[in-house]
Structure 1
Amino acid sequence: MSVKPEISWADFEKLDIRSGTIISVNDFEKARNPSYQLEIDFGDLGIRKSSAQITSLYSKEDLLGKQILAIVNFPKKQIANFFSECLVLGVYGENHQDVTLLSPSLTVKNGLQVG
């Protein structure tokens, strides 16, 4: 596995990574790959939606109330009839299908920035 090209600090600063809490989880029937539709509370930033292919490791019950990290400044992306408003972050497993979500090790306020 190779390392991606080096980026500058300014490139990293363009990413707005925030903490949020998953407040609703639904099956995403129209997605090509098994996915959930998530609603995530980012505190003062409001509630945003995301589509996530995380069904192999997480049940809907596991996800409800879970704090996660997500990039909130990507443009909206349409997936079937759904608009994803943020990108939930996770680590790919060896098979590149299982995704383990990134989350704070302690509870933090929703909407705080990663830096």
Structure 2
Amino acid sequence: MNVKPEISWEDFEKLDIRCGTIISVDDFEKATNPSYQLEIDFGDLGIRKSAAQITKLYRKEDLVGKQILAVVNFPKKQIANFFSECLVLGVYGEDKKEVTLVTTSLSTKNGMSLG
């Protein structure tokens, strides 16, 4: 397993990673790889959309209400006809097709920062 190059603390501080609650999930039919379209409530930051390739381990109905972590300060990314506004964080399985979401162990206020 390769380790990525070392970064500075200042590099890490540029990432804005926040807690949010998934409020809706739809199939992303136009995605190249099986994906969901998520709407995530980040509290004072508002509701943001994200495309996530998490269909192997998660059913739509199990995702609504789940708190996740996401990077919220990337620029919007167009994927087919959809604009992803944040990057949901997950851990790849060995085949890189199974993604386990990064979640909170206890409920937190939406929009709180990773620290």
Residues of 1 paired with 2:82 and 2:20: CA distance? 20
Paired position in structure 2 for 1:25: 25
Secondary structure at 2:10 match in 1 = helix
Paired position in structure 1 for 2:96: 96
Residues of 2 paired with 1:51 and 1:110: CA distance? 19
Q: Please give the root-mean-square deviation of Cα atoms over the aligned residues, in Å.
A: 0.3
Secondary structure at 1:51 match in 2 = strand
Secondary structure at 1:58 match in 2 = coil
Moved over 4 A (4+): none
> 1:1-115 maps to which residues of 2 (within 5 A)?
1-115=1-115
CA shift, 1:24, in A, is 0.2
- How high is the TM-score relative to the length of structure 2? 0.99
Secondary structure at 1:22 match in 2 = strand
Percent identical pairs in the alignment equals 81
AA matched with 1:26: D
Residues of 2 paired with 1:2 and 1:29: CA distance? 34
Unmatched tracts of structure 2, length 5 or more: none
AA matched with 1:10: E
Secondary structure at 1:68 match in 2 = strand
CA shift, 1:20, in A, is 0.1
CA shift, 1:51, in A, is 0.2
AA matched with 2:103: S
CA shift, 1:89, in A, is 0.1
Secondary structure at 2:58 match in 1 = coil
Secondary structure at 1:10 match in 2 = helix
Residues of 1 paired with 2:33 and 2:97: CA distance? 10
What is the number of residues matched between the two proteins? Answer: 115
